[in-house]
Amino acid sequence: MVNPEPQTPYRLDYNANFRDWRTKLDSVLDQNQVKYVLTEPKPPEPTGATPQNDVARHQKWLLDDFTARHVILGALHERVYVSYHRHKTASSLLEALTAHFTKPSMSRRLVKFRRYMEHRLAEGKSVYEHVSEMGSMAAALESEGVRVSEELQVLMLMNSLPDRWDETVGGLIVNMDVDGPDEMGLDKVSKRLIDLVLKKDQEDNPHLYATIKVAREEDLVEQIGKDFYFDLVDHEKVRSFCILKETPFYRFKEEVAKEFGIPVQYQRYWRWMKRQNNTYRPGYPLTLMEETVSVKELIDNRSEVNLFLEVELGLDLHPIAPPDKTRDVILLFFKLYDPEIEELRYVGRLFVNLTGKPTEILSKLNKFAGYALDQEIDLYEEYKFQPTVVCDLIDKNLTFRASQLEDGDIVCFQKPTPVEIGVCSLYRNVQTFLDSVPIPHSSRSEANTSVAFYVRGRGRRRGRGRGRGRSSLGLFTGRGRGRGMSNGSGLEPPARETTIDNERGREEV
């Protein structure tokens, strides 16, 4: 019979972590379906009167014990093997190993302590890996009965950094002393160290890093109506993540999960698109395929990119999986204008079917606003703000497709303005209100990350084309030049016969 080979290259040495080894061993024994021989005693030797089933069970146990014993022996280092290979059964062999490796051993303690003391951050190794290794070494000492306090782990971690990091360590120590003992825990020190190293490395190698700015619905609620009125969010005021471009995108999602508490499987990201009319809106969600690539591939090697994080909540207000997104379903954002107090604020978003009509969602909008469900309201599309503000009144009896609405569009709604308010108010509707507030500069935060698209010509009510949209050919990086769109490579899109409605800034096709 050929001795079975173990399923893992990890072999038990006198300086190894016995608990880790035992965990891996149990997995291999389970895979071979022989782990039971460690706990089930050997069946009695069969006699002439032994039933055939018991004879078969005895034979099977012997074969399985043989397999288990050789799996264990194969997972021992040669130095350990010579001392334990004489054990006849798998259970006696493992009991002897357990007795030796779990009892206090001064020699193992000394070896692990020296390894812990002398460990240094190797050149080229990431600080994330180093922090993890130091934690594993501390745990290995703990397994030998040596208590390694959190304070000692902090000191050992900082002492393990190379001399060239003295300035970084010095700055970290100063900050810790200023902030007090609450900031001296291992987790907080590790995070500070990682952040400092990341910042230093980014300064030294900026081409290796990307900044991803993540806008959330909370940002829309916080900003709209205070010092921000047009579009949806000021990206300079949202949470940003500095991350290596080679990082897989799913790793980035894990970082977001730690920061916001949103499980990875419930996160859906949307690309922001700069439209031809200078508005900036979420354009389309990332596909599953896009999320499997590196950050570098996803952002086309740019240094900065903006994303919108969509999170759906269930009835218990806990995150749930986002709904399916098809071409006939679009995402709309809603702002409420109150002419009585002349206030604009963000109230929510909805997925709607293009074949549906605004009349079908009026009750939901009233619920957003806190109105009676049958309250009459007027709907306006916030179309553009440069060079002039344009808010088109939406015909509630037309379908969303007929109204030329698409992903990322903003719908403002309000109660019809009573006559008495209209007489004394300068801003009786959202159009007049937006005319009165400061218009943001055209050089927005997306200046380095703007995306340009071929124009998708579409008819519009009153026979006008909207002059904005996406191409099925994909997105192109770089700044738009004139009325055409550039792909940033010097290649121009195919020429098209177009005219421009100068008053509305919309392209006629």
pLDDT digits (tens, 9 = 90+) for 141-189: 887 788 888 888 888 888 888 777 777 777 777 666 666 666 567 777 7
- Tell me the C-alpha distance between 282 and 307, whole Å: 8
So what's the pLDDT on residue 497? 34
Contacts of 93 (CB under 8 A, 6+ apart): 69, 72, 73, 84, 87
Handedness of CA 93, 94, 95, 98 (dihedral sign): positive
Output the six-digit token pair for 494: 């195919």
Place of tokens 């020429």: 495
- Based on its alpha-carbon atoms, the radius of gyration of the chain, rounded to whole angstroms, reads 33
Closest-CA residue to 70 (of 443, 271, 62, 261): 62
Query: Which range, 156-160, 180-184, 288-292, 331-335, has the best average confidence (pLDDT)?
Result: 331-335
pLDDT digits (tens, 9 = 90+) for 383-409: 988 888 888 999 999 999 999 999 999
More confident residue, 302 or 469: 302
pLDDT digits (tens, 9 = 90+) for 463-472: 333 443 332 2
Q: In the structure, what pLDDT confidence band is assigned to residue 267 with cuts at 50, 70 and 90?
A: very high
More confident residue, 462 or 319: 319
Residue 506 scores a pLDDT above 60: no
More confident residue, 507 or 415: 415
pLDDT digits (tens, 9 = 90+) for 23-61: 889 889 988 999 999 999 999 998 888 899 988 999 999
So what's the pLDDT on residue 184? 64
CB 292 within 8 A of CB 251: no
Helix ranges (H only) for 180-294 are: 186-204, 217-223, 249-260
Environment class of 498 (CB within 10 Å of its CB; exposed 0-12, middle 13-18, buried 19+): middle
**β-bridge pairing 312-313 and 304-310:** unpaired
Residue 241 scores a pLDDT above 80: yes
Domains assigned to the chain:
18-102 (no CATH), 107-206 (no CATH), 207-320 (3.10.20.90), 329-436 (3.10.20.90)
Percent of the chain scored above 90 by pLDDT? 36
- Tell me the C-alpha distance between 57 and 54, whole Å: 5
- Tell me the C-alpha distance between 103 and 114, whole Å: 19
Closest-CA residue to 396 (of 372, 360, 430, 366): 360
The separation between CA 50 and the C-alpha centre of its own chain, rounded to angstroms, equals 63
Residue 356 scores a pLDDT above 70: yes
Angle at the Cα of 380 (from 375 to 382), degrees rounded to 5? 140
Q: DSSP 3-state assignment of 170?
A: helix
Q: What is the DSSP letter of 418?
A: P
Closest-CA residue to 348 (of 278, 297, 295, 411): 411
Mean pLDDT of 487-506: 33
Question: Position 506: which residue type?
Answer: R
So what's the pLDDT on residue 422? 52
Q: DSSP 3-state assignment of 320?
A: strand
**β-bridge pairing 378-384 and 476-477:** unpaired
The separation between CA 486 and the C-alpha centre of its own chain, rounded to angstroms, equals 30
Q: Which H or E run contains 95?
A: helix 90-102
Q: Which of 77-81, 266-270, 448-452 has the lowest mean pLDDT?
A: 448-452
